[in-house]
Structure 1
């Protein structure tokens, strides 16, 4: 048995024709859709990038306990379980967060890995003097300005090189069996950087200052720049899709559709002016961010090109791949999995695997959907208390906890505080935890997420008009209490959310 996970970062499902989009060219993702079950009710879990990957690789939801961080020593990862049972795993990736402080222990769990350099703040091109800043709006980061000097043609960009790495691995192992290939392209994550000729098909006539990297938060650029950045995102998605086609060509050539599971998904979406916001992290977890694409090809399945409406989440990747390889989670896993295998849905044995999907960022709103309604539950108190972060490895994106500047060490306790493991962890007061990256810091208690909001997905999918429906809200609250219990939530989350 073989399996390939194709993970593209920040893919908006509303830009994919398989989900009804028009005007954006993704013919190769369409090819995947033709051979796969298309999941219509698939949701993120922990946000953003690395929390989502921890969910996928451990089968457990993490955002109730901590923010961005490494694979913990008490975690059991999918590559680790596969290795223990004689199944080889390899990752080809340009997602440089794996190799920054706060991204430890992910790639190292695979048998082998290949890291493609150059994305975002990857410390790749080395020069003592910073480059001169050009006329530009949006983010400008000198390290990326250096990195992009190495991008001359499409083939030089790191996501195309990542797909080429995966193709080389497949060619070297075309006669092998019993493996997982994890192919991970950072694009279309920002910066939306690509050869300018790629914008031709999107009729881009923008002539303002260079703009390829949005700032997180409320829209702060003119309308022509906003239209331009949307076209850059679409063009980058199209360019990446073209290289996805080369991976699918290899599967065609080697007859892999007959014996290989293929999972295509993303970690989260991305706002491009919707709700007057850009990007993610600081605003409510709107559908554009958290309702994400999923397509799954299973050899012999009769679901090719058909749609599955059951609620699913990224935590389901782990148990699905385990079952594909014939492994029983009850005997192979020391930790309880929160995810559920998709294979019963694909075999027609079940129409549902859960009654709700819960998702969000550490310390912010906890969000839940039952498919019909979506409910954002905010902290009861203005100071967002009580909230604690639990970790055995106190690193997060770009820095360490335990220094005076980030977390007062006198406020850190240690002990077996988690319900699901006896491993001693640090208990860090979450009231002064920040996610700090690049030029911006995001405190967990953002000004934009301080109210409970209820939406009807069918009548207001764009989430423009929150509703007042006491009966529906009461039912969503009970679903949320149940979900918190099922996901081993720390007790203070119930207090913080007013759910005692």
Structure 2
């Protein structure tokens, strides 16, 4: 019987594609991922379908579109449950881990993404083993003593209240961290290396490795930020501006501090350097995982994937941090690099979407996908069986929808029966960007091209009509 390939998927949260050398960045230091990409297939125009964290992973795990079917399921204890798609997997949702488990794979899941393991979460379903590394972001891991940390060092305004501030919570979680090996991405990748060593005899296997970095807090070891911004002596703004607001509103989208005007030019440069430092830190520790794959001789029988759930904004549109209503390329495009033992390599510029990943991986493993799966096999683009899969790509985030093709990006506020009110901000008039003339997507030309707006509206109505 022919040996079945193993599968390793590495997902790094909030990793902008344009912060990788293999995606054209000439100043970032990402040697490990760039070397990996040189021998792999790079999908240059991959886009997330549903945002943010939980919806994005639901799309990845199931191979299905979320929009417009997604709904709001609020749960006690999860302040983010007001977002569409931010809830536990449904009984009828079948995940890649369950499919591979049913086909004889040993399945493992290693992550520090605490949203996946809230009391309402069940994203470890279908995994034979799973490990949750506690303490990322506002994970309620450590409750005191509160006077051992000082959030005011990282914020323009801070007032200690009875309820623990999200940044205060994070600082408590990491207050005993001293060495780089104790940073979250290092711990995730070291756990993944151990899992591979322990399960080398359990073939075939599937391992999903999911690290929350480079999501904020952007607090790499100082030398990593200094690679990109030497000599800075000011405040390290390691969290998104929304954290400046005590008891923030549900969406944070219009919270004070969202604008780059809130910071000096030096501070904005430092924020970008902090993010870049996070990226380089992540690259280093993914490199350790690649070394383990090499040490165990797994390249010859293992499909290896690197991707992310979404990007973020670092000054684009005058904003810091992702925004539901600003579905422009730095936020919606994702890195997607796939290695197979057959050694295919090169660049694919056709549009692909995050829900295409699972059907593609199942096809590579010769495992039949479920008939109801929305995603398409991207490998047909690699093998020359198809020139394109999608005429346009869509990204939905709260109450906002982007419809993007080669010429235009159309962003509109939508309503459906499942999302009847505006979530994640306020109603905004439709925006249309002409990409050839305006690649930064800064000038709304909707009033100049009413026929294009009408065409995009028809596409939107057709998509919503599929509910």
User: What is the TM-score with the length of structure 1 in the denominator?
Assistant: 0.80
Q: In the alignment, does 2:292 pair up with 1:250?
A: yes
- Structure 1 segment 424-435 matched on structure 2, within 5 A: 430-431=420-421
Question: Mind listing any 5+ residue stretches in structure 1 that lack a counterpart?
Answer: 380-384, 390-429, 432-442, 490-500
Query: Judging changes above 3 Å, is the alpha-carbon distance between structure 1 residues 298 and 372 closer, same or farther for their aligned structure 2 residues?
Result: farther
Which residue in 2 is equivalent to 1:109?
126
**What's the secondary structure of 1:262's corresponding residue?**
strand
Contact 1:356/1:479 (8 A) holds in 2? no
Deviation at 1:251, TM superposition (A): 2.2
Deviation at 1:214, TM superposition (A): 2.0
Which residue in 1 is equivalent to 2:355?
315
Query: Judging changes above 3 Å, is the alpha-carbon distance between structure 1 residues 327 and 140 closer, same or farther for their aligned structure 2 residues?
Result: closer
Contact 2:310/2:334 (8 A) holds in 1? yes
CA distance in 2, matches of 1:386, 1:38: 35
String of CA shifts for 1:449-482, please: whole Å, max 9, x gaps. Answer: 5111222333322101233323433433343344
Which residue in 2 is equivalent to 1:76?
94
Calculate the aligned-residue CA RMSD, in Å: 2.1
Runs of 4+ in 1 over 6 A off after TM superposition: none
Deviation at 1:294, TM superposition (A): 1.0
Contact 2:410/2:430 (8 A) holds in 1? yes
Q: In the alignment, does 2:264 pair up with 1:222?
A: yes
Contact 1:58/1:75 (8 A) holds in 2? yes
Q: In the alignment, does 2:374 pair up with 1:338?
A: yes
Which residue in 2 is equivalent to 1:473?
453
Q: Which moved more, 1:269-278 or 1:280-289?
A: 280-289
Which residue in 2 is equivalent to 1:436?
none
- Structure 1 segment 290-305 matched on structure 2, within 5 A: 290-302=332-344, 304=345
Deviation at 1:160, TM superposition (A): 0.6
Contact 2:146/2:172 (8 A) holds in 1? no
Match of 1:374 among 409, 423, 427: 409
CA distance in 2, matches of 1:101, 1:218: 34
CA distance in 1, matches of 2:295, 2:325: 45
Aligned residues: 422
Which residue in 1 is equivalent to 2:109?
91
Contact 1:5/1:264 (8 A) holds in 2? yes
- Structure 1 segment 431-450 matched on structure 2, within 5 A: 431=421, 444=423, 446-447=425-426, 450=428
CA distance in 2, matches of 1:445, 1:151: 34
Q: In the alignment, does 2:14 pair up with 1:10?
A: yes
Which residue in 1 is equivalent to 2:190?
164
Q: In the alignment, does 2:235 pair up with 1:209?
A: yes
Contact 1:37/1:297 (8 A) holds in 2? yes
Match of 1:178 among 204, 229, 234: 204
**What's the secondary structure of 2:214's corresponding residue?**
coil
Which residue in 1 is equivalent to 2:142?
125
User: What is the TM-score with the length of structure 2 in the denominator?
Assistant: 0.85
CA distance in 1, matches of 2:409, 2:416: 24
CA distance in 1, matches of 2:324, 2:385: 40
Question: Mind listing any 5+ residue stretches in structure 2 that lack a counterpart?
Answer: 72-83, 157-164, 243-257
Which residue in 2 is equivalent to 1:32?
36
Contact 1:204/1:231 (8 A) holds in 2? no
CA distance in 1, matches of 2:354, 2:59: 7
Query: Judging changes above 3 Å, is the alpha-carbon distance between structure 1 residues 132 and 18 closer, same or farther for their aligned structure 2 residues?
Result: closer
Which residue in 1 is equivalent to 2:255?
none
